[in-house]
Amino acid sequence: MKRDFLAVTDFSKDEIFETFRIAKQLKSEVKAGKTHHYFANETMSMIFAKPSLRTRVSFQTGMAQFGGQALYLGPNDISIGKREAVKDIARVISRYNNWIMARLFKHEHMLELAKYASVPVINGLTDYNHPCQIMADMLTIHEHRGTVEGQKVVFIGDGNNVCNSFLNFASVVPYHFVLAAPEGYDPDPETLSKAQKAGLSKIEVVRDPIEAARDADVLYTDVWTSMGQEAERQKRLNDFKGFQINNKLLSYAKSDALAMHCLPAHYDEEITEEALDGPHSVVFDEAENRMHAQKAVMVMLANSAGADIQV
Ligand code: CP
Ligand code: NVA
């Protein structure tokens, strides 16, 4: 049976920590110039309905390090949802490739792709969530602070796809998640309520970034206007004023707090250049960890489906 990675909640707590262990091991091996061709001769179709730097390059490079190849299918190549049915795309690609990675607008399309594909599907972002990002982010927190459990992670800005994945993580691993968002920009209500009902993590949604930032272990932000929301940009620029990571906001957090951003960054909107380049920032560790975390997710999925990859 193939296994997909469409949301953080697809993994148990133990599996999440095993993924981190594998990611750290693979990372140290890459740094020592060692790679293992666990997926020699395998291929991955990467479907992108939206732009990307990190997701595209990290998956393609990771696949090459594993001895396989990844193919880039851009927004105009297969026009998912327009040119042919999602289920047909899933069935055709499954006849050519061993893996599918997709970045799509509609989360329902991701679910449909996974349902009809006979090969593993990995979610590289939808309008609803961004699970690979959160695996890399939590791995980064784990590396820098030695744990994620009990950490106070404060997300400043939009209750968007990245925020929904933080909430999904909170349903599986206990930590303290605070969203500081303006009225009208709360996360997906069902995801929020599920995370609260799971009863593992302390979860807060507040309106005041300064109150939220007090004693934070991590201050995290993402763009105010996500891909696909460009028509709302002007309104969002007004609505999110003050929801910015800068040195003043960082002064309310713990003295050794981490400043994080999934990138791409819009300087002087959600983060200042000073904060992103400052001593708190681990932004480029996060970006790097996308690759190691995703490679570890692939090993986990392959082993669940019967492979015996020992990392
Ligand atoms: N953080 C992230 O997913 O970056 P890209 O949009 O460049 O892939
Ligand atoms: N929320 C952002 C994340 C980019 C990686 C977006 O969807 O555009």
Read off the pLDDT of residues 239-284 as tens digits, 9 standing for 90 and up: 999 999 999 999 999 999 999 999 999 999 999 999 999 999 999 9
Residue nearest atom 4 of ligand 1, based on CA coordinates: 54
The angle formed by the CA atoms of residues 17, 41 and 103, to the nearest 5 degrees, is: 55
Residue 198 backbone dihedrals phi, psi, to 5 degrees: -60, -25
Name the residue ranges covered by the structural domains of the chain. Answer: 8-130+288-304, 133-283
pLDDT of 66 higher than 90? yes
Q: Which residues pair with 71 in a beta bridge?
A: 45
* Burial group, residue 28, by CB count within 10 angstroms (0-12, 13-18, 19+): exposed
> What confidence tens digit (pLDDT) does each residue in 138-183 have?
999 999 999 999 999 999 999 999 999 999 999 999 999 999 999 9
What is the distance in A from the centroid of ligand 1 to the CA of 162? 11
pLDDT at 213: 98
Q: State the chain's mean pLDDT as an integer.
A: 98
What pLDDT band is residue 81 in, cutting at 50, 70 and 90? confident
Ligand 2 site, residue 286, Cβ cutoff 6 A: no
Residue nearest atom 6 of ligand 2, based on CA coordinates: 226
Ligand 1, CB cutoff 6 Å, lining residues: 52-55, 125, 133, 262-264
* Contact (Cβ atoms closer than 8 angstroms) between residue 128 and residue 108: no
- Percentage of the residues of the chain whose pLDDT score is greater than 70: 100
> What confidence tens digit (pLDDT) does each residue in 111-130 have?
999 999 999 999 999 999 99
Tell me whether domains 8-130+288-304 and 133-283 share a fold: yes
Ligand 2 site, residue 138, Cβ cutoff 6 A: no
Between the alpha carbon of residue 68 and those of residues 49, 61, 156, the distances in Å are 23, 9, 38
Q: Compute CA 281 distance to the chain's CA centroid, rounded to the nearest angstrom.
A: 18
| Cα 70 from Cα 45, distance rounded (Å) | 6
> Architecture of 8-130+288-304 per CATH?
3-Layer(aba) Sandwich (3.40)
pLDDT at 62: 98
> What confidence tens digit (pLDDT) does each residue in 31-47 have?
999 999 999 999 999 99
Mean pLDDT confidence for 283-298: 98
Residue 100 backbone dihedrals phi, psi, to 5 degrees: -130, 130
What is the distance in A from the centroid of ligand 1 to the CA of 279? 23
Looking at CATH, the fold of the domain delimited by 133-283 is given as Rossmann fold (3.40.50)
| Cα 182 from Cα 209, distance rounded (Å) | 9
Active site residues: 262
**Hey, is 307 helix, strand or coil?**
coil
| Cα 96 from Cα 89, distance rounded (Å) | 11
Type of residue found at 229: Q
Q: What strands, in cross-sheet order, belong to the sheet with 218-221?
A: 202-206, 176-180, 152-156, 218-221, 258-261
Atom of ligand 2 minimally distant from the CA of 125: 7
